Structure 1
């Protein structure tokens, strides 16, 4: 392959194929980098989150296990301090050592203490130490009156009003739990229970990584537990104490840099003992496996990118052939040639689909152009046929005028009124060739119609007119929009009522649109009747609210003339009312001139 051919294929400034190849390459590169970065970051966060969750759960479980043992020891101490016959009476007894009474007391109290720690392997010794020098214990190591005056005894007397915890070192490391023994409001001794330190080691042996560290500190910043072996980079005791003070035992999880090394620090404070637990996890050792996985992901990404680049060259070459064909056909359509010779593209990929969409669009365009021409012609013909009279029935006007004149001569004002109203109504409908009328003229037609039909009913027809703004009477609207609505309201709404029927016509402006509401208090309609009335799919019944033709005609004329959202909306409650809401543009200007929307 020549270098010039390859350059022509992949150069974005010379060919579409080059642009496609460049786009594919950039998208693939960005995608691979983004996915690799997101996966690596999420993996790091997941590893840290899992480590924190694991350590937190382990610390919580260790704390709960220790609390269970300490609570059990507290209960044992309570049993001892409230036992008067065996413990208190023995401590205050005047008997001295190496006497028969002393031996009896010693046997009784040591049997009592031994029974308390039976089947409790985590307790190494329980002891009762009187301030008078009497010492009784069960378990080991040996204990005598030399404990009096020691720091341990002083600590227990100072803090043992309820319970005191102290870690002791020496022959055997233990956790000592003590409590004062009081009689007559005076301290007469203490009870001390030693918890085996091996149970502390097992309980707090939490190591998410080989070089992680866990410390337990008491409220005096003494180390209750520390790992037996620590790595060379382990922080000093003072830094652990400072870290405990900084976190204040609130159960925080933070990342800290100590001596130039990053750690995840998990802290927890026990509600029972007040001890603080600190777990330090080196971040580099925790994430060592993620670093190896990151390098592997980078290697895979490079291989995938090379494969994608090779594939994009092949794909772009096949795509551009059909794109050129499609472009040639589009240029013909651009020049107005809708009957161009079609070069069929048989592929089923996106370009093939685009070809079929384009051909369909051209066919639809030809159909729409023909439809627009026919629709416009039919629209004008239908509107002229429905709204304009092509014949001037002068003989009918003359006949009606004669009837009106004779009714006046014979004193029949009702016949005169009906014939006069009919003349005005026919002259407006048949004699006025304008497509638009003012609201005032449309209301005049309504009044003429009411003057005719009111003689069909025993009760007078009450029609209220509410005009929000008198200037709206000069707004223009489609001819014969309002009269069919009022006709249906009278004939099919209040016509069935014996009395009390009325129709309200309200004219107002809303959002720069002309709104006309026709409301009657007739028998109302169901939702199916309203849907059928506007051309829906409702079920047709014999008790239909309207004949349907008048309202549907008005709605279709408005929508055809002004498009959505203009038209008619119906609101009704059966047995209560029906409201027809007409929304049309607020048109201003004289008849026959270009309409202006206010």
Structure 2
């Protein structure tokens, strides 16, 4: 998976990769910061408004509760007044005239109480048999509730056993009258009712009382409060009936249009949660409320999320604008940064293509000190060195061809000499001069080896033949001066060795080891196989080599200016072996002056096995 992604990315140009990377690295953090900022600011605003809304609802409910308590206290004063108690306890024995007098006295008494409290529009007193006495009210408006609504209200008051019952009524709960418009304009479309049953001083039930308060009186306690655009404050009772509301679309004494809200209010009330989110008319709102147990009322505030999110949206817009500006700046910066990388790389690739086509004089001008500048500098140096090496190779090839021509020319003389020697050998055979024929035969074989016909690698068998031919010639020069002893393992005779490896060393032993000594000398040539290596030692009992000469023998520069047959020195043999087989192979020398010198040759075992046994040979 990772490999496939990496391969896909590698298909995109570096400039485009850098451009997209800058874009993503600048866009993603801004999006995350923007969303996070919006979320945090929105939640903070909602939390603060929720807290303040709950506090405000608490204050509104306290104000309303104080007014309800005040009205309940007024109702207690009324029902326990001597006039009301005497009238209701003796109502059945009173004449019509007495009843009217008592009613007028009640109206006079309550007029003094409510003359400056215009929100109480009516006070009705009922006997146990539900006969009505108008204790307070406007003479132009007779407050008459429908019988079924009145009976339900009085029955609920009886059930509460003196505890006030708070409810709401409108024209739908009243009997039709000719002056309805008058009542509406002066006392409102809906009225809040305080109903209660009461007893006599002796503790016996004597009747009921209903006090009507204009709904606007309660509305005045919160109508001027503003929680924000689209917000609303209203009061509903436990049955879902609207008591009062800032919103004109919510009519008092009518059921709240969304019954789900009432269920949520009661559920959160059980959990002691006074703020929650809800959907009203397909719009999300923050709901805060308080509960007035005395009246079973909920004081509720609704704040739409559109208002709550307004500031957060503004912040988000500012962040978005700032983010777009930063994003554009990041894109501009990424363009220049990517160009600063891609352009040098493009020039470098173009120059490499030119070098690939054979243009080795190309140079890139890039004075920068960054990594690309260093790569360009190294590329320029590499091209210069490559141009120099190619020129050097061309020069060496010319020198090599010249040397090959010289070598070809130089072979003319050995060929002529070889042909001449063959003629001399033919004449020696005719004249029966066997020793001359033998000597010339060995010389011809050595000349053929020197001319370098065939492969550079030959068998050890052939190399020993060269050594024997050389020693055969030297035996005529140094009569009875030396003896040579061969000890070679049979399995190594057919292994491969460089041409003229042993002969130069034997020649050095003879010329520098045995010739200066007095008497006859001995050369021992041994060969054996050690795992994957061949060891060949050549030992003489000559004058030896002192330490100073020994230390510099293999360090002296190679030179072809020698007096030997092949023109190859010991150091040259060592270099040739290392060149062909590696640095671990080569020549080592041990010597004790006036005692012996041993030269050891180490080469890899290459070739087959054979059966070839060399016996001791004497050359004298």
Smaller-chain TM-score range? 0.3 to 0.5
Q: Which has the higher contact order (CA 8 A, sep 6+)?
A: 2
Q: TM-score, normalised by structure 1?
A: 0.43
TM value normalised by structure 2: 0.42
Say which one has the larger Rg.
2
